[in-house]
Amino acid sequence: MPAIAFGRLDDSFSVASIKAYVAEFISTLLFVFAGVGSAIAYNKLTADAALDPAGLVAVAVAHGFALFVAVSIAANISGGHVNPAVTFGLALGGQITILTGLFYWIAQLLGAVVASFLLSVVTGGLDIPIHAVGAGVGAIQGVVLEIIITFGLVYTVYATAVDPKKGGVGTIAPIAIGFIVGANILAAGPFSGGSMNPARSFGPAVASGNFADHWIYWVGPLLGGGVAGLVYSNVFIHHEHAPLASSEF
């Protein structure tokens, strides 16, 4: 079983760790700016993007591309989490300390909030769309959907970026992670919103001042990411209980 460690303050405030937090802030900001921006742009260009299949495809592609870049540019510095649910899953799998993971969360949430306010400013005050369940979909159904799709995301992160046996697959990890997010948005977007990322939901909620059903996008992704971390780390990874490296997966 992987060792889950709380961590030490001196390690969490090392130069490498601070660089990792900055990298997470920047990558999350860029991801949320592009992802939310694509939804704003499509809303501006169409009368009702929420019911338009082309809008769903456009937003899914934008998120997939943006996440591919966000993970790639931070991978060698912070591991490219860009998502509190990913960080949570990695912490439960013994890949990052709890304390350092909390600072990752702060950086990710701040990046998402700054991105959302920047979008509000540069678009002339257009509405910032928030995640919400679709018509006829209950809150519990939304949570279950978010658990499933976030499990898929974090499982993909483990398989392509974390597992020591990944070999050459590690070189395509950002692509695989971007693809699974895009595919999950196509599958779950009309039902749960397809968040998989508490920061992606939190930034727009803060900027818009609308936290309706916001809890869904914390409970679902954290449960899904946590289960994926526990399953993959306990079933597929052989652990030697080596000391944790705070700045890496």
Mind listing the pLDDT tens digit for each residue in 163-210? 999 999 999 999 999 999 999 999 999 999 999 999 999 999 999 999
pLDDT tens digit sequence for 97-114: 999 999 999 999 999 999
192 closest CA partner among 131, 133, 130:
133
Q: Give the alpha-carbon dihedral of 98, 104, 106, 108, to 10 degrees.
A: -140
Close Cβ partners of 11 (under 8 Å, ≥ 6 residues apart) = 17, 97, 99, 100, 246
230 has a pLDDT exceeding 80: yes
Residue 240: predicted pLDDT: 60
For residues 72-101, one letter each, b for 16 or more C-beta atoms within 10 angstroms of the residue's C-beta and e for the rest, the string is bbbbebbbbbbbbbbbbbbbbbbbbbebbb
pLDDT, the chain, mean: 93
Which band of pLDDT confidence, cut at 50, 70 and 90, is reported for residue 247?
very low
- Closest by CA to 227, choosing from 154, 162, 160, is 154
Q: Cα(173)–Cα(162) distance, rounded to whole angstroms?
A: 9
Dmax (CA) of the chain: 56
pTM of this structure: 0.93
Q: Coil, strand, or helix at residue 50? A: helix
Per-residue pLDDT band at 50 (split at 50, 70, 90): low
Picking from 100, 70, 89, 82, the residue whose alpha carbon sits closest to that of residue 245 is 100
